[in-house]
Chain A
Amino acid sequence: MGLTLAEKILATHSGKKEVSPGDIVEADIDVAMVHELLGTSGGVAELFEETGVRKVWSKDKIVALLDHWVPAPNVDVAEIHKKCRYFVKKHGLKNWFDMKAGICHQVLVEKGFVRPGEIIVGTDSHMTTHGALGAFGTGIGSTDMVVVFAKGKLWFRVPETIKIVLQGKIPKYVLGKDIILKVLRRLGPDGANYKAVEFHGEALADLSIDGRMTISNMCVEAGAKVALIPPDQKTIEFVKKRSKKEIRPVYPDSNADYVDEMMVNVSEIEPQVSRPPNPTDSVPVQEVEGIELDQVFIGSCTNGRLEDLEVTAKILKGKKVNRGVRLIVIPASYEVYLNALRKGYLETILKAEGIVEAPTCGPCIGGHLGVLASGETALVTSSRNFTGRLGSPEAKVYLSSPATAAASAVEGKITDPRKYLR
């Protein structure tokens, strides 16, 4: 029997010819990412120093940055940032970006740390994003990261793989976000728990790297360990521009064994909105149209990329955000920020009376720059609408694509973006 992509990557990284679901392997880690969880109480730095290990396994393979709460909104966060900087300096970590690069998942991809066929771990559940480039990206806790810092290896249970085939042609104003929200509806909140997801199908070719990243990013909302898209020409060209290292892509075997297979006809997908309090509770936009909004947030590692700001600007062009709504837009990185600035997207958003903030996770984690009060309702492009995620547990949060979010900001209520098709 052949191997799925997840199985093959784990096999090549643990010195084995083949592995089967359920096997426990110890795999070599290519890249490890930490953000503020390096410096929180009980975080990676504290735990690492407690082990008595004096040196990290590699000064080059660790990427460290600050993104969740930047610039520091209070003293507690400032102290966390200080602890991170101290650790980075003490251990001589080479790839340190402080708060000057953006949200970790966007930065990892932009700076060429994500390569097909490699294993990349981070203290963040949305590490599944990197499956979009064919990398085994997975989120781990602080303790597991300490093991990686010490040994450069980590144990994994080889996951079963679910094959998801995206067929058909993607309609206009249907974005990667709508596709993944539809897929999540079918998987449910634990439909991919402990499992790998592997995407196939003709629709992938029509998706940009940005759109693919959104899809892989949110697979964790169904519990997935990794969300792999086998690399194609688009992937290879993208990575070549950003990484100097030789690329060794890995592909699944044609006779690989999948635990389940799901066919999705993307031609039939309409703009989707997830209802609170779970990202997998998605419905076509018509079912929630008209719900009045207090805030719209466009940004995050899920949907703060150039393509997302482009569609936002396109819809907002020459219009104004509804008087009753605050629109907050946060580019996912400084590269995105600069490009959006050059292309005039930010000017359009500002003229529409949207608020543009500097790259950070911000409201997505209920941190700062737009947390919600009790009784408020928001539509956001980030990944999670759990109770209390964006602030008050008495706030309601809906999820959508940036197109739906931008159209809704104009109308002040949840709106089908296809109205704005020109």
Chain B
Amino acid sequence: MSLIVKGRVWKLGNNVDTDLIIPGRYLTLRDPLEKAKHALEAVIPGFAEKVREGDVIVAGRNFGSGSSREDAVTVLKTLGIKAVIAESFARIFFRNALNNGLPVLECKGICSMVENGDMLSVHFEKGEILNLTSKEKCKGTKLPAFLVEIIREGGILKKLRKELQCEK
């Protein structure tokens, strides 16, 4: 999986919790596409129709707080979101994203240098963000090598499968 992501920005505020990303009442839907249709609907009405494959999310503090539901990551992936950059992430969302191979980067000050609809280029290994629209640059918190590895593999289960094959 590529560690450089370029995409159009959807900008969100602080404390976007997992109930806002995917409300509990939709968790029981069997079809992942049906589930994803409700992603962020209370924040941006019609988000699922408006979002395009390859878009990225830029959020404020504490993105993904609340529940441990992994659907909060998978609905964004299903809609084609390729990365999330936030001032900070809630712990469980951060882990779930990396485990699913969705690149996430913490970057203080990101909200003040990005507007909705800007084009961003993000280098996850280096932790570097370039706003292609405004030409501004910003540096995020570099992920430890072992987490970069999980993204590169495309998620922790692909890594687990490799590990288990090696042991056989």
Residues of A within 8 A of B (CB): 24, 36-37, 40-42, 47, 50-53, 69, 74, 76-77, 79-80, 123-125, 127, 139-144, 146-147, 150-151, 189-190, 193-194, 221, 223, 225, 278, 365-367, 371, 384, 386-389, 391, 393
Contacts and interface: CB of A to CB of B under 8 A. Distances in A.
A150 B160 contact: yes
Interface in B150-168: 155-157, 160-161, 164
Nearest to B158: A51
Contacts of A190: 15, 61-62, 65, 88, 90
Given A146-B157, A223-B91, A141 B17 contact: no
A37 B62 contact: no
A15 B65 CA distance: 31
Nearest to B67: A125
A95 B149 CA distance: 35
A317 B65 CA distance: 39
B28 A189 contact: no
B6 interface: no
Contacts of B95: 140-141, 144
A60 to B, nearest CB: 22
Contacts of B30: 41, 76, 79
13 contacts: A24-B146, A52-B161, A53-B164, A80-B28, A141-B73, A150-B160, A150-B164, A190-B65, A365-B25, A371-B25, A388-B23, A388-B25, A393-B42
B99 interface: yes
Contact of A143 (B32, B42, B96): B96
A156 B155 CA distance: 16
Interface string B79-107: 00000000010111001100110000000
Interface string B14-35: 0101011001110111111001
Contacts, number: 127
B69 interface: yes
Interface residues of B, number: 42
A42 B32 contact: yes
B29 A141 contact: no
Contacts of B157: 47, 50-51, 143, 146-147
A123 B99 CA distance: 14
Contacts of A387: 19-20, 42
Contact of A147 (B17, B92, B156): B156
A26 to B, nearest CB: 11
Contacts of B23: 366, 388-389, 393
Given A144-B99, A384-B19, 13 more contacts: A42-B71, A42-B74, A80-B28, A127-B68, A139-B92, A141-B73, A141-B99, A151-B160, A223-B62, A367-B25, A384-B66, A387-B19, A387-B42
